[in-house]
Structure 1
Amino acid sequence: MEKTFHAPYTVITGASDGIGKAYAFELAKHGMDLVIISRTQRKLEKAAREIGARTGKQVKVIAADFTKDDIYEHIEKNLGGLEVGVLVNNVGMLLCRQPHRFLDIEQLDQKIPDLINCNIKALMKMCRIILPAMVKRKKGLILNVSSGVACSPWPMYSLYAASKVFVQRFSRCLQAEYKANGIIIQAVTPFGISTSMTGYQDPNFITFTAEDFVRTSLQYVTAGDQTYGSVSHQLLGSAIQNIPKSILHSDVLLDSMVEYVNKKISIQKKNECSKTSELAK
C-alpha cells in the first residue's frame, strides 16, 4: 500500500485502541510505517510497542487531546519531514453510551464544544495539515470514519449523529474537489463495532470486531466516496433508510431503544463487577 500512495507513512488519529488501533495494525501489515495520535501518552506507547513487535514497522506517537483547540501546531511540528501517504481520521467521541434527549445531557454546555472539536474540527484540521503534500504528489488516501447513524436522523444520539453526518458530507465534497489530483477520500460509515465506545458488544452478523471490520473495509477503498465497509452494514443501512420516519421516530420505538441499551449496559456492568470480584479472590 505504501507504493500505491507514494509515501511510507500512515497517520491515524484516535489510534490507541478500538478501530484506530485496528487500522494501525492492518496498515502496518501492508508495509506502512505509522504515526499514531491520541490523548494518552501511556496508551499510545503501549500500542506502539505492540504494533512494532508484531509487524516490525516504525511507530511514532504524538499525544494530543482532540477536544482542545491548541494542539495542531504541536501535531504539525511533529509530522514535519514525514511523507504521509495515508491519513485515517478516526478520532471521535460519544457523549454518553446511554441514549438521551438533547436537553437531558449532563454538562451539556461543556460537552457541545468538546464534541465539535473532537468529531468535526479534528477532521478538518488534519486534512488541512496533510492534504497539501498529497495534492503536490498527486497521490494519497484519506479515510474519514463516520458512522451508520449518519444514514438517517438518529434521535437520542442527536449530537453524535449530526457530527457524523458532517464527516460524511465533508468527505464526499473533498473527494469531488481532489479526485482529479489522484487522491482517494472516503467516508467509512460502520454500524455495530465491538469497541470500548460501544461497551464491547458480542460480535455477530451485524456487530464486527474492530479488526474484522477494518480488514473488510479496506477492500472497498476504491469503491467510491462512501462505504459501509461490509455487505451486512450496507444491507442494514438500506433497510433503515426505507423505514418510514413515523415508525423509526415514534415514541414507542425510541422508548424501546432506551430500555434495550440501558439493559445491555446494566448487564455489562454486572459482568465487569463479577470479573473484578473473581480476580480479587
Structure 2
Amino acid sequence: MFAWIYSFLAFVGGYALLCYLYEQLRTPWILLRESGDHAPSLRHRFGSWAAITGSSDGIGKAYAKELARQGINVVLIARNEQKLQAVAAEIAEECNVQTKIIVADFTQGVQIYKHIEEELKDLPLAILVNNVGMGMPGNLIKYSSEQVQQLLETNVLAVSHLSHYFLQHLRASKIKGALVNVSSGTELQPVPYAALYAASKAFTRSFTLALQWEAARHGILVQLLSPNFVVTKINNYSKRVMQGGLFIPTPEQYARSAVAQLRAAVDATPGYFWHHIQNAAMTAFPWRLRLTLAQLFFSKLTDKQHN
C-alpha cells in the first residue's frame, strides 16, 4: 500500500518538475538555438519600419534607439511632442534611419486611435511595440476615479486597440511582422499596493498569449515581453529601485537584451537574463505565497509617502 503511495507521489513530483523545467528552459533554448551570426537581422526577419508607444522616456525610448541601431526606421508615439522631437533628433544623429513622431495621449479615449491609424497608413509598418503604460503604487482607495480610468485607458485599452489595428494591417499588407506587447513581472500574481497595475498586466499576458495562436497561422510573431524592475520613471516612487543593480537594469541595458530576444523570435520572455533568474526563483513557489511575498516586498520598497 505504502509503496503504491510513494510511487504515485514520485510520479506527481516528477511531472511537476518537468513542467517547471519546461517553462523555465523554453526561452533559453530558443535563444541558444537562434543565437550566432546565422540568425537573420531584424530587418530581414520582419521589415524596415517599427512603431513604439511610450517612446519619449524609459524602456520605450531605449527600445526605439536600439531598433534604430539595428537599421529599423522608427515611429515614436507619446503624448509629449517636445520629448518626442528630442528622441528623434538623438536617433537621427546616431543612426542612419528615418524617424516619424505621432503625438497621442492614451488617456483621452478611443478618438486617438483614428489619428494614429491615419498617421501610419502609408508606412510599411512591420513591428509594433505596445509599451505605453502607467503605474499607481499604493492603496487603491487613495486614487480618484479619473486616475483609475486613465490607468485602464493606458494599460488595457491601448494594447487592445493597437493590437487589433496592427494585426489587421499585417494581414491586409501580407507582412509577416512582429507585435510586442510589454507587460510586467507583476502579471504572475496579484500584487497588493499595486493591485490595478498588476491586474492590467495580467490582462496583457492573457490577451497576448491568446493572440499568439491566432496570429501564428499567418506567420506573425506576437511576443509577450514582461520586465521586472527597470530604472524608469514609472518606478520613481522607490529610491531603491532608481538606484539600479544586478536585477534592476538601466533602460539601455534592458532594451539591448529585449531587442536581441525579438531578433531570436522568442514569443514570451522577461527580456533580461537576471529577470529570467528572478522569475525562475519566484515561480517555484505557489501563487498565494508569491502574493504574500509581493505585498511584503512592495510595501517595504515603496517610499513612505506612497504607503
Task: State the TM bucket, normalised to the shorter chain.
Answer: 0.7 to 0.9
Displacement of 1:139 in angstroms is 0.4
Q: Aligned partners of 1:253, 1:11: CA distance in 2, in Å?
A: 33
Displacement of 1:247 in angstroms is 4.5
Q: What are structure 1's unaligned runs of at least 5 residues?
A: 267-281
| Amino acid in structure 1 at the alignment position of 2:75 | V
Moved more, 124-133 or 86-95: 124-133
Give the root-mean-square deviation of aligned CA atoms: 2.2
Cα pair 2:60 2:132 within 8 Å, conserved: yes
**Equivalent of 1:49, from 62, 86, 89?**
89
**What CA deviation, in whole Å up to 9, does each residue of 1:131-182 have, x standing for no partner?**
2232242400111110011112211101000101111111111111010111
Which residue is 1:101 aligned to?
A: 139
Which residue is 1:27 aligned to?
A: 67
| Amino acid in structure 1 at the alignment position of 2:131 | N
Q: Aligned partners of 1:201, 1:165: CA distance in 2, in Å?
A: 24
Q: What are structure 2's unaligned runs of at least 5 residues?
A: 1-41
Q: Aligned partners of 2:64, 2:57: CA distance in 1, in Å?
A: 9
Which residue is 1:279 aligned to?
A: none
Displacement of 1:249 in angstroms is 4.1
Structure 1 counterpart SS, 2:245: coil
Cα pair 1:217 1:229 within 8 Å, conserved: yes
Which residue is 2:181 aligned to?
A: 144
**What CA deviation, in whole Å up to 9, does each residue of 1:221-277 have, x standing for no partner?**
345431011232112112222335554444x973564233216989xxxxxxxxxxx
How many residues are treated as equivalent by the alignment? 259
Q: Aligned partners of 2:267, 2:297: CA distance in 1, in Å?
A: 34
Cα pair 1:2 1:32 within 8 Å, conserved: yes
Which residue is 1:167 aligned to?
A: 204
Q: Aligned partners of 1:155, 1:243: CA distance in 2, in Å?
A: 17
| Amino acid in structure 2 at the alignment position of 1:132 | Q
Structure 2 counterpart SS, 1:154: coil
Q: Aligned partners of 1:112, 1:179: CA distance in 2, in Å?
A: 34
Q: Aligned partners of 1:264, 1:213: CA distance in 2, in Å?
A: 28
2:274 matched to 1:232? yes
Cα pair 2:170 2:177 within 8 Å, conserved: yes
Structure 2 counterpart SS, 1:143: strand
2:227 matched to 1:190? yes
Which is bigger in relative contact order (C-alpha 8 A, separation at least 6)?
2
Q: Aligned partners of 1:94, 1:258: CA distance in 2, in Å?
A: 15
- Pairs within 5 Å for 1:212-251: 212-221=253-262, 222=264, 224-244=266-286, 247-250=289-292
**Equivalent of 2:162, from 126, 134, 142?**
126
| Cα distance change of structure 1 residues 193 and 265 upon mapping to structure 2, 3 Å threshold | farther
Identity of aligned residues (%): 33
Which residue is 1:278 aligned to?
A: none
- Structure 2-normalised TM-score? 0.78
| Cα distance change of structure 1 residues 52 and 205 upon mapping to structure 2, 3 Å threshold | same
**What CA deviation, in whole Å up to 9, does each residue of 1:89-139 have, x standing for no partner?**
00000124xxx2322x221x1122111110011111112222223224240
Structure 2 counterpart SS, 1:34: strand
Cα pair 1:168 1:226 within 8 Å, conserved: no
Structure with bigger gyration radius: 2
Structure richer in helix, relative to its length: 2
Q: Aligned partners of 2:72, 2:177: CA distance in 1, in Å?
A: 13
| Amino acid in structure 2 at the alignment position of 1:102 | L
Q: Aligned partners of 2:211, 2:82: CA distance in 1, in Å?
A: 34
Structure 2 counterpart SS, 1:171: helix
Which residue is 2:25 aligned to?
A: none
Cα pair 2:189 2:291 within 8 Å, conserved: no
| Cα distance change of structure 1 residues 255 and 38 upon mapping to structure 2, 3 Å threshold | same
Which residue is 1:276 aligned to?
A: none
Which residue is 2:45 aligned to?
A: 4
